[in-house]
Chains A and B, each alone.
Chain A
Amino acid sequence: MPLSRRQFLAGSGGLAGLQLARPLLGQAGAAFGADPRLADRRRLIVIFQSGGNDGLNTVVPRGDVAGAPRYSVYRKVRPGLGYAPTATLPLDRPADAGHALGLNPKLTTMHRMYREGRVAVVQGVDYPKHSYSHFTSGDVWQSGEPGQAPDSGWIGRHLDRAGISEAELRAVAIGSGIPLIMRGRSRQGSAITSIASTAFVDGDGAAARARHLAFARYGDHPGNEPVRQAFGRLARSTTSLVGTLHGVKQPANAGSPLANQLLLARTMLQLDLGVEVVFVQTGGYDTHTGQIARHEKLLDDLDAAIEVLFDGTYRGVRKAEPMSPSLAARTLVMTISEFGRRIGQNGAGQADAGTDHGAAAPVLLIGPATAPRGAVHLVGGIHGDHPKMGTVALPADNLAMTTDVRRLYQSVLQQWLGDPDPLYGKGLGPLPGLFA
């Protein structure tokens, strides 16, 4: 009987460091002490809305509140872009009603989940000395280290602290590159575009296997050429990853590229391969022009993809099974973007009107509203303060930070992923009350 690809790789474990990821995983969790059982590990999906998501048309003012004429300012400076109060979906849980905020009309699934207590809105998230550059600011959101040249990402450093092995599949980006967020100083996450494509094109016949073994041996390239060594090591860990995913079923087409990515993320999390974090990127948010139509299409796409991820339906049409309750109880989704957009619109005409690069914006989190005794759950609802928007006579130009993104990351790392290390200095501890 011919060996399966996985058996083959497992059997060759002693050869030139070519090892299957799975056998290594038993030891991997040990860095975080207590119970390293993979199935119990909480998981995180980070969705990066690339281009700068307009926070003000995502979580929208519906009225003025005492001392803050938010809605009046909003209507004045966004004549072509502003939503009427009745158009948005109210954030109307008892504790939140006083904020007079609503979700973009396209976020219907998230609104339902909000009412179920599964969505948290963290307001005014940004970092000190904000940059309006896509690239500088995107790097800060991924590095979690404002004010310095980015050399690693906040998930990557989590992998460093966990001390993952070369072949360990703990964090995966969906896409062709390994983004900054996944790069640690000594470790890094992986990246795949699909399960089907995580295979050698020449198959796994005997001749091909002989080539793959030789390819994996490039992993022994000496350190006097560190770039070639890095290439070689990736050749080796890639060969190992192909073995790990061999035979795993590719999820069905879920309705849109983003929905497909989230379903792939779910598959990776479900497999109990030890995957803890999945990073997904979706573009098009740089709405300098024609914003209303473009932004609504993007948020509709995002909301439908969230629906597929949790419910298995895409705008009501069955694409996959719902997420299993046990996975849902352990999965947190977080949406981030490099910045929000300017309070006021550019361009005079309705068709052209858009917004230029801005500063603070809300972060949305989706997770379990409740948990069995002793386990952690998300606290749904509005967190933090809304940034000031000035007055009708003197509107503000930009939304200033009310929540430091590092505190948000600290919360997610410590309270959700159980990473025990203090990451930042004084005053940058976890946000109170985001998890319970």
Chain B
Amino acid sequence: MGATTATAVDVARLFARVAFGATPADLDAWTGKPYADMVESLLAGAGQPIADEAQRIVFERQSLVGGEKRGDGRLQKAQGWWLERMRTTAHPLLERMTLLWHDHFATGRQDPFPDTGMLIAQNELLRSHALGSFADMVTAITIDPAMLHWLDGVSSARPLANENYARELFELFTLGKYPQTYTERDIREAARALTGWTVNNALHTVSFQAARHDAGTKTVLGSTFGDQGNTEYETVVALALAQPVAPRFIAYKLVLGLGYDPGAGDLLARPDPLVARVGDTLRRSDWDLGAAVRVLLNSDEFRYADAARGRQIVREPAELAVAACKALNVPADQVAVTNVLDAMGQRLFEPPDVSGWSNGTAWLSPATMLARYHLSVLVFQLFSQKATGVTLPASADIDGLGRLVGLAGVSANTRAALRSYLDSQAKAPEAEKQASMLVLLLTSPDWMVV
């Protein structure tokens, strides 16, 4: 077991990984306090911002009126809304988890459907289960209007079922491929069981049409069942979740998303020890994600993840944008911010495909490095354009500047790079040096990789 009390490094790392970065106030509040209490505080959150919830409902309702056109700015507004919600929320872990599930159940805007309103409604569905029951979440999303459009459920009718959702339900959403415990036949049979669902696009409601449903007998994952009508999808989901690999696969996704890459080895034969423990928690708690995340965040494997073995996370673009805006107290719901997010490779509500975004160093290329650099310049520009109440430490105060952006310390090499800048610019105005130091800290390996 690790030390009971949290160090500043513990606070900075935990907040960077699961709460969009630590503010100086977070560092002060938790350094020297019990680590487990800090985790509980993040799990509990502090309620939802009401005005923000009203805004969410406006977005959701807006599309009921219809008339959304691709490129009319509605999606970009919704992206900005979510970023700003992440920045200002009193429950950052809940938003971080919602982002993780958006990546897991990656659903995107398509013409004409799912439209932005459907995606916002799905976003709330994910949020409502993000630290709740995974079983409830995957059951609900199976007949979620946005998902029914995204993976062709609306087009799947007897006698020629569309396999798109059934395949991804097993491969991406519940079972994974390490090892693959389902067959092509399971996919085809499950697809038959999932036929019959349609969406009322004007109302965002779903309905089951028995005439489109394949009422024959199916065998899925070793279980044979007859016609169960509009509850048959629940049977398919339950059969998937009953597979021994299912809790391990979801645990793997949690560790990968929040902690480190545990490697894509056989999850049944040779699981990473933390993946096995988090998976056991999911199984024993009937899929309680809060319980699973509690075990994960309190574990030594997470807290003392071995950087020398590559067990660090490359922060994803949305996290970076939110963390930078949070540190400098500038709003994140700006077109310029969502544009840079796009250049960094992440458009919220428009994942590259149903497998979601990349992770680790796959985020990084010359194109995205320059966009990451761009983000830091942009956030500084936004900061300098209006009063934010944030006072910048002097350019020579590397630790003070680091602390402002949530770093509990600055590594030797980053410090050397920053010093080389200061040495070369001794005669530059202090304001320019402060700006440059901040831009460089916000593009440093220390900030990007945690």
Do these two chains really belong together in a complex? Answer: yes
Where the two chains meet, the residues of A that have a C-beta atom closer than 8 Å to any C-beta of B are 16, 50-51, 132-136, 149, 173, 175-178, 190-193, 197-202, 207, 210-211, 213-215, 217-218, 220-222, 224-232, 234-235, 237-238, 241-242, 283, 286, 288-289, 345-348, 352, 354, 356-357
Q: Which of B367, B425, B440 contacts A215 (CB 8 A)?
A: B440
- Assuming A215-B440, A227-B449, A231-B449, is B366 touching A356 (CB within 8 A)? no
B421 touches A (CB below 8 Å):
yes
Pair B353/A210 contact, Cβ less than 8 Å:
no
What CA separation (Å) do A165 and B345 show in the bound complex?
Answer: 26
- For residue A229, which residues in chain B have a CB less than 8 angstroms away from its CB? 445
Q: Which of A210, A234, A283 contacts B369 (CB 8 A)?
A: A234
Which of B171, B364, B411, B432 has its CB near the most chain A CB atoms (within 10 A)?
A: B364
What CA separation (Å) do A178 and B439 show in the bound complex?
Answer: 25
Q: Which of B360, B371, B373, B432 contacts A207 (CB 8 A)?
A: B432
Q: Which of B160, B364, B444 contacts A348 (CB 8 A)?
A: B160
Pair A178/B362 contact, Cβ less than 8 Å:
yes
B391 touches A (CB below 8 Å):
no
Pair A210/B361 contact, Cβ less than 8 Å:
no
The 3 A-B pairs of least Cβ separation, nearest first, read A228-B445, A191-B365, A217-B417
B394 touches A (CB below 8 Å):
no
- Assuming A231-B448, A356-B163, is B370 touching A201 (CB within 8 A)? yes
Q: Which of B167, B344, B378 contacts A201 (CB 8 A)?
A: B378
What CA separation (Å) do A133 and B183 show in the bound complex?
Answer: 11
- Assuming A213-B421, A226-B310, A289-B152, is B374 touching A176 (CB within 8 A)? no
- Assuming A210-B436, A218-B413, is B421 touching A226 (CB within 8 A)? no
Pair B308/A222 contact, Cβ less than 8 Å:
no
What CA separation (Å) do A221 and B414 show in the bound complex?
Answer: 8
What CA separation (Å) do A372 and B205 show in the bound complex?
Answer: 66
Q: Which of A177, A199, A218 contacts B365 (CB 8 A)?
A: A177
- For residue B355, which residues in chain A have a CB less than 8 angstroms away from its CB? 134-135
Where the two chains meet, the residues of B that have a C-beta atom closer than 8 Å to any C-beta of A are 152, 155, 157, 159-164, 167, 171-172, 177, 184, 187, 264, 307-308, 310, 312, 314, 343-345, 352-355, 358, 360-371, 373-374, 377-378, 411-414, 416-418, 420-421, 424-425, 428, 432, 436, 439-440, 443-446, 448-449
Pair B370/A226 contact, Cβ less than 8 Å:
no
- For residue B167, which residues in chain A have a CB less than 8 angstroms away from its CB? 132-133, 357
| 5 more A-B residue pairs beyond the given contacts A51-B353, A133-B167, A202-B377, with a C-beta to C-beta distance below 8 A | A210-B425, A214-B440, A230-B364, A231-B361, A234-B364
- Assuming A221-B411, A288-B155, is B424 touching A235 (CB within 8 A)? no
- For residue B421, which residues in chain A have a CB less than 8 angstroms away from its CB? 210-211, 213-214
Which of A132, A190, A200, A215 has its CB near the most chain B CB atoms (within 10 A)?
A: A215
What CA separation (Å) do A202 and B413 show in the bound complex?
Answer: 23
**23 A/B residue pairs, CB under 8 Å, sorted by A:** A132-B184, A134-B355, A173-B365, A176-B344, A177-B345, A198-B366, A201-B370, A210-B424, A211-B436, A214-B418, A214-B420, A215-B440, A218-B413, A218-B417, A225-B308, A225-B312, A232-B445, A235-B369, A235-B443, A237-B366, A238-B366, A286-B164, A288-B163
What CA separation (Å) do A221 and B448 show in the bound complex?
Answer: 13
- For residue B172, which residues in chain A have a CB less than 8 angstroms away from its CB? 135
Pair B436/A348 contact, Cβ less than 8 Å:
no
- For residue A136, which residues in chain B have a CB less than 8 angstroms away from its CB? 177
What CA separation (Å) do A237 and B164 show in the bound complex?
Answer: 40
Pair A227/B367 contact, Cβ less than 8 Å:
no
Which of A16, A173, A177 has its CB near the most chain B CB atoms (within 10 A)?
A: A177
Pair B162/A354 contact, Cβ less than 8 Å:
yes
Pair B365/A201 contact, Cβ less than 8 Å:
no
What CA separation (Å) do A176 and B358 show in the bound complex?
Answer: 11
Q: Which of A192, A193, A211 contacts B439 (CB 8 A)?
A: A211
Pair A200/B418 contact, Cβ less than 8 Å:
no
What CA separation (Å) do A242 and B160 show in the bound complex?
Answer: 52
B345: nearest residue on chain A (CB-CB)?
Answer: A176
What CA separation (Å) do A348 and B159 show in the bound complex?
Answer: 8
- For residue A220, which residues in chain B have a CB less than 8 angstroms away from its CB? 413, 416-417
A223: nearest residue on chain B (CB-CB)?
Answer: B308
- For residue A289, which residues in chain B have a CB less than 8 angstroms away from its CB? 152, 155, 162
Pair B312/A201 contact, Cβ less than 8 Å:
no
What CA separation (Å) do A178 and B314 show in the bound complex?
Answer: 15
Pair A231/B445 contact, Cβ less than 8 Å:
yes
- For residue B436, which residues in chain A have a CB less than 8 angstroms away from its CB? 207, 210-211, 214
- Assuming A210-B436, A220-B416, A346-B160, is B428 touching A234 (CB within 8 A)? no
What CA separation (Å) do A237 and B364 show in the bound complex?
Answer: 12
What CA separation (Å) do A173 and B424 show in the bound complex?
Answer: 35
Pair A238/B370 contact, Cβ less than 8 Å:
yes
B414: nearest residue on chain A (CB-CB)?
Answer: A218
B167 to chain A, nearest CB (A): 7
- For residue A133, which residues in chain B have a CB less than 8 angstroms away from its CB? 167, 171, 177
- For residue B361, which residues in chain A have a CB less than 8 angstroms away from its CB? 227, 230-231
- For residue B354, which residues in chain A have a CB less than 8 angstroms away from its CB? 134
What CA separation (Å) do A16 and B368 show in the bound complex?
Answer: 22
What CA separation (Å) do A23 and B159 show in the bound complex?
Answer: 64
What CA separation (Å) do A198 and B369 show in the bound complex?
Answer: 10
Q: Which of A192, A222, A235, A237 contacts B367 (CB 8 A)?
A: A192
- For residue B413, which residues in chain A have a CB less than 8 angstroms away from its CB? 217-218, 220-222, 232
A351: nearest residue on chain B (CB-CB)?
Answer: B155
Pair B366/A241 contact, Cβ less than 8 Å:
yes
What CA separation (Å) do A214 and B415 show in the bound complex?
Answer: 10
B13 to chain A, nearest CB (A): 13
Pair B161/A201 contact, Cβ less than 8 Å:
no
Pair A197/B416 contact, Cβ less than 8 Å:
no
- For residue A227, which residues in chain B have a CB less than 8 angstroms away from its CB? 307, 310, 312, 314, 360-361, 449
What CA separation (Å) do A199 and B371 show in the bound complex?
Answer: 9
- Assuming A213-B421, A218-B414, A357-B163, is B157 touching A347 (CB within 8 A)? yes
What CA separation (Å) do A289 and B417 show in the bound complex?
Answer: 54
